[in-house]
């Protein structure tokens, strides 16, 4: 569809500071992060090529720009849209602890099956549980394991769309 190839969306980084996260645009409508309508399976806004990018998680590749800028890490809790952050910080105990480290392109939650839509509080609680486990159990070995599993497991599956 017409429009820029890349877009940036406001998210929260380390210590809750706002950052702009880069992504390949996969939808016909670009949102700024303040008022988010999360993509759903068979969402009409997703372009055909965008569906491929999302299914394979290749839409996340531009976030290596954020890593090079020092705002993100390869591994860490995924940064959530500002609107989601404001909602879930009030509903999930310990939610803000995930901001003690840089957000990541991939994380423990993603390789544990917590990908795709977070349309229920239970789904978001599961993600946050994995994020907090990552913080408690962090080692270089764990990061390497997450990267390895992301390559072989994280870029496929029916939860990414």
Confidence at residue 79, expressed as pLDDT on a 0 to 100 scale? 94
Helix (H) or strand (E) segment spanning residue 7: strand 6-12
Confidence at residue 119, expressed as pLDDT on a 0 to 100 scale? 80
- What is the DSSP track for 37-88? ----TT-TTB-HHHHHHHHTTGGGTTHHHHHHHTS-EEESPPPPBHHHHHHH
Nearest alpha carbon to residue 78 among 40, 43, 126: 126
Helix (H) or strand (E) segment spanning residue 104: strand 104-106
CB 107 within 8 A of CB 146: yes
Confidence at residue 161, expressed as pLDDT on a 0 to 100 scale? 38
Confidence at residue 100, expressed as pLDDT on a 0 to 100 scale? 97
- Which tokens belong to 123? 């789904």
- pLDDT (tens, 9 = 90+) of the chain, 161 residues, equals 677 889 899 999 999 999 999 998 877 765 554 555 666 666 777 887 888 888 888 888 999 999 999 999 999 999 998 888 889 999 999 999 999 999 999 999 999 988 777 788 999 999 999 999 999 999 999 999 999 999 887 555 555 43
């Amino acid at each position: 569809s017409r429009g820029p190839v890349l877009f940036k969306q406001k998210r929260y980084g380390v210590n809750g500071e706002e950052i702009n996260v880069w992504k390949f645009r996969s939808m016909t409508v670009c949102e700024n992060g303040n008022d988010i309508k999360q993509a759903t399976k068979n969402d009409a806004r997703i372009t055909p090529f965008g569906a491929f990018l999302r299914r394979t998680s290749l839409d996340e590749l531009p976030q290596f720009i954020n890593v090079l800028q020092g705002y993100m890490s390869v591994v860490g809790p995924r940064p959530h849209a500002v609107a989601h952050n404001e909602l879930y910080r009030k509903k999930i105990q310990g939610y803000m602890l995930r901001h003690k480290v840089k957000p990541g392109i991939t994380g423990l939650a993603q390789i544990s099956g917590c990908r795709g839509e977070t349309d229920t509080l239970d789904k978001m609680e599961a993600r946050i549980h994995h994020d907090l486990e990552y913080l408690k159990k962090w080692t270089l070995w764990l990061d390497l394991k997450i990267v390895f599993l992301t390559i072989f497991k994280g870029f496929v599956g029916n939860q990414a769309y």
